[in-house]
Copies of this chain bind each other. A is one copy, B any other.
Amino acid sequence: MTSHCALLLTPGPLTTAASTREAMLRDWGSREPDFIALTRRLRSQLLDVIGTPSGYAAVPLQGSGTYAIEATLSTLLGPRDRLLVMSNGVYGKRIATIAERLGHSLIVIDTDETAALDPQKLDAELAADSQISHVAMAHGETSSGRINPIEPIVEVVASHGRALLIDAMSTFGAIPIDVENSPIAAVIASSNKCLEGVPGIGFAIARISDLQRATGVSRSLSLDLHAQWRGFEGNGQWRFTPPVQVIAAAVEALNLHASEGGVSARHARYAKRAERLVRTMESMGLEALLPADARGPCIVAFRTPEDLSSKFEILIDHLRAVGIAIYPGKLTVADTFRIGCMGAFDGSAWERFFDCFGAALCKAGWRQEAALAGLGE
């Protein structure tokens, strides 16, 4: 199969707007004044998305979102610090894996993939262990589509006077995050999820006082968030050659984000898609993994019924043949597939997806009647 999929209903990279991709048609000298201005604009736009909190700075970084998480852990945690990771899925675990590889002192509160994070457990751990300096969590657990509410964790972390790191990879730009006057030391995300840019940069919105303290802490020259920030604050430049076209696309994607109406408008667009998605899937006999109050609007995981499981690859191939990409799940506790509601496409593309999905279910030979019931709704 070498069909090309233009409608990417995956956790990313996503379908982007034509103007976002067209922003990549220019060359840029990365140390030229116009590119320095573009970088300044990017940093201020990223901060705008989160409400321009005082005392925070946006530090973009070459690479994927995982690089930005590693740079944050590598820079903001010193040798005497200890990290507690609240995990209920693959991306929570990844934070722990990065910290472990970096040699950080680490504790993980591992929760079932289908359960919520437990602030009471966190409270008990923080009360018992004064060495824990930082707590980390994934805001959107991309593997299950769960949103882990930040507020209860913020409250506990604040009450113990520790710092909080938030992996907001699949929520930044679509779900509000309030960092002002919080114990949040960094919110980390990337250009190519809810912001609908192309992949190639990650970033941290980091508390300036934490950045200032972190001179020479990172053992990585490349993934040093402090030095990266100093570079931007100094001469406005990236320390190492930046992906200039990706950055131009990010600025255009952020222009579109602002003109759409910011976080609340983006949330509304995705939430509307997610509601329609769950309803349509249910009409075809497919069930969302998580209850409505635990799911986010960005990615929805569905249980793969036993009699569909063996046919799932065929289903995916049929969708691929009509230019639509979806991903299987990434959970260990349940057989699931995931549909991403993020991306720059319109309502008619979404409706077309439902038609194609129903037809693909039929072609895969799964419960013909149930599948057809979802069509032409």
Q: Are A6 and B24 in contact (CB under 8 A)?
A: no
| CB neighbours of A325 from chain B (8 A) | 29, 32
Does A45 belong to the interface (CB within 8 Å)?
A: no
Q: Are B13 and A244 in contact (CB under 8 A)?
A: yes
Q: Mark A1-30, 1 if CB is under 8 A from B, else 0.
A: 111111010101111100001101111111
| CB neighbours of A12 from chain B (8 A) | 241
Q: Are A192 and B241 in contact (CB under 8 A)?
A: yes
Question: Which of A149-157, A172-180, A220-228, A284-292 touches B?
Answer: A220-228
| CB neighbours of A94 from chain B (8 A) | 221
Question: Which of A52-60, A63-71, A367-375 touches B?
Answer: A63-71
- Interchain nearest-CB distance for A217 vs B (Å): 11
Bound Cα distance A32, B6 (Å): 11
Q: Are A97 and B241 in contact (CB under 8 A)?
A: no
Bound Cα distance A66, B231 (Å): 16
Q: Are A8 and B22 in contact (CB under 8 A)?
A: no
Does A242 belong to the interface (CB within 8 Å)?
A: yes
Q: Are B64 and A240 in contact (CB under 8 A)?
A: yes
Which residues A190-230 have CB closer than 8 A to chain B? 190, 192, 198-200, 218-223
Q: Are B62 and A63 in contact (CB under 8 A)?
A: yes
Q: Are B327 and A222 in contact (CB under 8 A)?
A: no
Q: Are A63 and B222 in contact (CB under 8 A)?
A: yes
Using A94-B221, A101-B220 as known contacts, list a sample of 20 further A-B pairs with CB atoms less than 8 Å apart, ordered by residue number in A.
Answer: A2-B33, A5-B28, A10-B29, A13-B28, A13-B30, A21-B26, A21-B245, A24-B245, A62-B63, A63-B222, A64-B222, A67-B240, A70-B220, A70-B221, A70-B222, A98-B222, A101-B221, A102-B220, A192-B241, A199-B242
A-B contact pairs, 13 of them (CB 8 A): A1-B33, A4-B34, A6-B26, A10-B29, A12-B241, A27-B198, A62-B67, A63-B67, A65-B240, A97-B221, A101-B220, A199-B245, A220-B220
